[in-house]
Structure 1
Amino acid sequence: MSDARERELERRAAAGDLEAARALELERERRGAASLAVLSDVHGNLEALDAVLADIDARGIVDVICLGGLTTYGPDPAAVLDRLRERELVCLRGSYDAAVQGEGPLRPNHRLRQAIDWARDKLQPGFLARGATRQRWAWYRELPDRHDRPGLIAVHGRPDVPLNHHLPNDAHSEEDYFRHVERLAFGGVLHLPCVSRKGEHLRGSVLAEGYDLVAGKVAICPGSVGQPHDRDPRACYAILRQERVEWIRLDYDLERTLRKLEQSNQPQRRLLIERLRMGI
């Protein structure tokens, strides 16, 4: 179905045309069943996550992978975990998640250590913690580091080091990275749309129109839901449909997130407020 045809159905459905509404619903179900949504690096930003999940639902997509980076910075680490836990999706842990859990290879600086400790205090059950807090923490601790499908691997970092590193950006890192990839790899960490394959490395706005997969091995970063680093503060995630990847940018209630941060005791809240506003 063409974009023009879909817009026409949307217009008619909004005007009360039940036949058009059903046709639109069926088309979205068809496309959603053939699509994979990939998101990463939520970092405690509930409003951004809710905007992304609502958009995924509106598109009828039921196959969803989250690459980790769930907590640490934003004001709602527990609510983010609860939201992801209640969904039927594949959810991995990232390097910051492992650090919050007291594990992993991350060697944080002083600022990051403060943020990690703050998130742990919000999440780790104490002696008198209720069952819901304990269940949330147990779910968080049990998240896998990688997810494999025929021709596809999903990790937070690198296929061979799931909790560390990121997509390749030179000939040496290409060789080391792609020998662990069968066809397609999704990874987080970078917080901006990226594509890497041998001899080609694309980032940021050059991918605004999407990317058609080519022969050979390809690595993709879906951007960041809750803390973008490409000077675009909107939430970002990726959709894989057949042989094409699209990055979706979404406005969300950023001001609500910033108010929560302002009212919190998150030790890096001043810096984070500035970075969220600027998308850096």
Structure 2
Amino acid sequence: MQIAIVSDIHGNLPAWEAILADIRSRNIGQVYCLGDLVDFAPWDREVIASVRKLGIPCILGNHDERVGRNLPVIPKTKHSAREQAAREDAINYTKNVLDEQEKAYLAELPFSLTLTYKFPTKTWRILLVHAHPNSNERYIFADEPLDNLREIFQEQACDVLCVGHTHYSYIRPVDGNWVINPGSVGRSKEYNRLASYAILDISETAIRSEIIQVPFDRQAVIHGIEQSPIPNFYAEFWKQ
């Protein structure tokens, strides 16, 4: 069987629709989302409505938590003063545009989800988290120290760990296990800025994975941001 793993849509409806079209073209019936449905593009409500209508299981991203639970925007040292101001304005826009039902949906998303696929001679466990099994504010990049990953697999007793949050896609083997980051649907930081997701092909003998990257209408995203109260800092991101 095949499943699709998506993450970090960030209110980018054109990118999300392009990913959905690609998934449908491959006849993949199971789709799971690693969170961060909202912020930085003006289609937060449409993205939430789409995920809910399609019945896609979704877990709690740090942006979903911040908006849904009305948490403060804490400055990050990695951001310039301009980016920090834009970030705060963009998140506050999302908080203002969503209704209470939409915020409650985000607030109640689970922190993690474990998928179990049982075959006659093999059972696979796939752990889905947004960022790290212990925190939504931690990152697991492709160069994470191997001992750290071994510790996670030992603690979590899973075969595959799916994480998002970094906005960079990768597939990394760890002693017969796998860490898979599908990249970002709606705000990729990779050189090509394409919408990204992962496919897992699950059989009794193996789990094989592939990163899929899909073009979308970037001009529509630029125009949508520029016509909204979201700071143009986030439109400039798509002009690079």
Give the TM-score normalised by structure 1. Answer: 0.72
Aligned partners of 1:192 and 1:224 also within 8 Å: yes
Residue by residue, what CA displacement relative to the aligned partner does 1:82-106 show, whole Å, maximum 9, x if unpaired? Answer: 1111012211120111111236797
1:46-61 equivalence runs, <5 A? 46-61=13-28
Residue matched to 2:102: 136
**1:251 maps onto 2:227 in alignment:** no
1:203 corresponds to: none
What is residue 177 of structure 1 aligned with on the other side? Answer: 152
2:194 to 210, 214, 234: 234
1:190 paired residue among 160, 163, 166? 166
Following the alignment from structure 2 to structure 1, what is the Cα–Cα distance between the partners of residues 149 and 12? 32
Question: Which has the larger helix fraction?
Answer: 1
Q: Which of residues 133, 138, 141 is equivalent to 1:159? A: 133
Q: Which 5+ residue runs of structure 2 have no aligned equivalent?
A: 77-83, 117-124
What corresponds to 1:88 in structure 2? 55
Q: How does 1:1-280 map to 2 (within 5 A)?
A: 34-102=1-69, 107-109=74-76, 110-111=84-85, 112-123=87-98, 125=99, 134-150=100-116, 151-161=125-135, 163-167=136-140, 169-181=144-156, 182-198=158-174, 216-242=176-202, 243-267=207-231, 269=232, 271-278=233-240
Identify unmatched segments of 5+ residues in structure 1. 1-33, 126-133, 199-214
Percent identity at matched positions?
29
Larger CA Rg, structure 1 vs 2: 1
Per-residue CA deviations over 1:213-255 (Å, capped at 9, x if unaligned) read xx52221100110011111121111101132111111111111
Secondary structure of the 2:155 match is coil
Matched length: 217
How many Å separate the matches in 2 of 1:105 and 1:193? 28
1:115 CA drift (Å): 2.0
CA RMSD of superposed structures (Å) = 2.0
Which residue of 2 is the match for residue 12 of structure 1?
Answer: none
Structure 2 residue identity aligned to 1:139 = Y
Question: Normalization by structure 2: what TM-score?
Answer: 0.83
